[in-house]
Homo-oligomer: A and B are copies of this chain.
Amino acid sequence: MLLRMIYDPGLAQAAYLIGCQRTKEAIVFDPERDIDRYMKAAESNGVKIIAVAETHIHADFLSGARELAEKVGARVYVSDEGDSDWKYQWLDKRSTGGSYDHRLLKNGDVFRVGNIEFKAVHTPGHTPEHMMFVVTDLGAGATEPIGAITGDFVFVGDLGRPDLLETAAGVEGAKEPSARRLFSSLPLFLNLPDFVQVWPAHGAGSACGKALGAVPQTTVGYERRFSPALRAATSEKSFVDFILEGQPEPPTYFARMKRENKMGPRILGSLPKPIPLTAEEALRLDPRSSVIIDTRQWDMFQAGHIPGSLFAPKDSMFSAVVGSYVGENEGVYLVVETSCTEDAVRELVRIGLDNIVGMIDRFTIDKWAQMTGKGAKIAEVDALKGADMLDRREAVMLDVRRHDEFVEGHASGAIHVAHTRLSAELDRLPRDTPLLVTCRSGGRSSRASAYLQRKGFKVTNLAGGMLAWERAGNVMKK
């Protein structure tokens, strides 16, 4: 048996290529949309992708399953559990016109790729149709599983959050029943032997859980003993309380991903190649009709950016930021280094932002800056000045941290909206009063400030965030 984890650090997402070395056939679990990476991994390991499977309908990225079905004719294995809201409509011929070779799986269904056996185990909770795949290497004569593709059911040191149906998709009252369903899925994991490897769909940093560990994979026995979520499962109630507490606010684009993954993501073909703009062309850009995503560092951004630009440096927050601040059909221009362009494009198409029109490299933006004077800049103050503004009622504070951070201590009178939820809460924010935007250390608030400025709010970024705020002697309220 051959196994390769293909990891996307941007979304902390793991796909798995599993192949049979005898028959040279392979399957991919939970691919993202830019499937060339899986095909390359297959080729360099001497196997051919003949199948693709999904653990569940993803919320944080567009699936590459349809892309693989279309491009290499991979047979599609997906869940047929869950109610009618949770069906893969793109596999229904009437829906997409096309006809894909596929098999809809019920709990307990078994299929093989080469001499490797996969057993689908229905494990609702994160989503109602979620499947775990238990893998047995029959070719090597094994009589017990080698591992389990656990999707968003079990992570390293965590479980997949069961609240998204409510917190991301807005179905009120859904999170407790989902948490109970997750509890009732636990025996299906705990039934597995200690030595079974756990291959989860996400690593540290994913918004699909609250405390994922930074070791790439784990084992059933280790989780059984040391997973805080499993240790909290001393009763249904204590488990539900634990699992729903402290989950981060999901980015606003999650709801859209669910919908598109059900309907079938658009066939991508090859990666979009944004056209490099000249400085003159950059001058003519209208930020109202298109979105300029500036991926440079804060000091560069503040040294002068195209007015109306979003601030989104290429780090682990990139997907969540652009996913939360950019609409699905908006035309996108990237301010980015040439060598990083492909990587940024991949991150955009993974969350369905395909309309990437052009890019502006470092030299061009510098030239643009020279041509225009200095460009735009976001107002920024230190904690002393910020406190003064609040005292004088010249601003209200907008705290964009997570709810669990906020309740640990915040400034009196602060409005709280997590930065990933801003686009859904703009109506709650005052347009007449200036906003003093803050977070923990200034990272999220700077991204939020640029976004709000673009949306017409009056903003001032609080440099250093609440860490600086507290250091400056301001009182924190719990």
Choose, from A208-216, A330-338, A368-376, A378-386, the stretch at the interface. A208-216
Assess the B184–A183 pair: CB atoms within 8 A.
Answer: yes
- Across-interface contacts of A157 in B (CB, < 8 A): 140
- Report yes or no: A225 in contact with B144, Cβ–Cβ below 8 A: yes
Among B4, B183, B188, B214, which residue has its beta carbon within 8 angstroms of that of A21? B214
Pick from A51-59, A189-197, A291-299, A389-397 the stretch touching chain B: A189-197
Interface residues of A in 134-151 (CB under 8 A from B): 140-144, 146-147
Complex CA–CA separation, A378 to B354 (angstroms): 52
Which of B141, B194, B215 contacts A226, CB < 8 Å? B141
Interface size on A, residues (CB 8 A): 53
Asked whether A224 lies within 8 Å of B195 as measured between CB atoms, the reply is: yes
Closest to A190 in B: B190
From A63-71, A92-100, A233-241, A463-471, give the one contacting chain B. Answer: A233-241
What separation, in Å, do the CA atoms of A197 and B194 have in the docked complex? 11
Contacts of A213 in B (CB 8 A): 1, 140
A230 at the interface (CB under 8 A from B): yes
Q: Determine if A221 and B193 form an interchain contact, defined as CB atoms under 8 angstroms apart.
A: yes
Q: With the chains together, A226 CA to B219 CA distance in Å?
A: 16
Which listed residue (B190, B216, B217) contacts A191, Cβ 8 A? B190
Residues of B within 8 A of A44 (CB): 9
Contact B236–A184 (Cβ < 8 Å): yes
A259 CB to closest chain B CB (Å) equals 27
**Cα(A225)–Cα(B144), bound, Å:** 9
- In the complex the two chains form, is B3's CB within 8 Å of A193's CB? no
Known A-B contacts A1-B214, A214-B1, A214-B45; A225 and B195 likewise in contact (beta carbons under 8 Å): yes
How many copies the complex holds: the figure is 4
Whether A122 is near chain B, meaning CB under 8 Å from some CB there, is yes
Q: Does A220 belong to the interface (CB within 8 Å)? A: yes
CB–CB B2/A214 < 8 A = yes
Decide: B195 and A220 in contact? CB cutoff 8 A.
Answer: yes
Interface string of A7-38 (1 = CB under 8 A from B): 00100000000000100000000000000000
Partner of A233, one of B5, B147, B188, B194: B188
Residues of B within 8 A of A234 (CB): 107-108, 121-122, 188
For A178, the chain B residues whose CB sits under 8 A away are none
Q: B216 touching A3 by the CB < 8 A rule?
A: yes
A67 to B196, CA, bound (A): 37
Identify the 6 closest CB pairs spanning chains A and B, nearest first.
A195-B221, A190-B190, A194-B194, A2-B214, A186-B187, A194-B195
Contacts A21-B214, A45-B214 given; 10 further ones with Cβ under 8 A? A9-B44, A121-B234, A147-B215, A186-B186, A187-B230, A191-B231, A194-B194, A195-B195, A196-B219, A219-B219
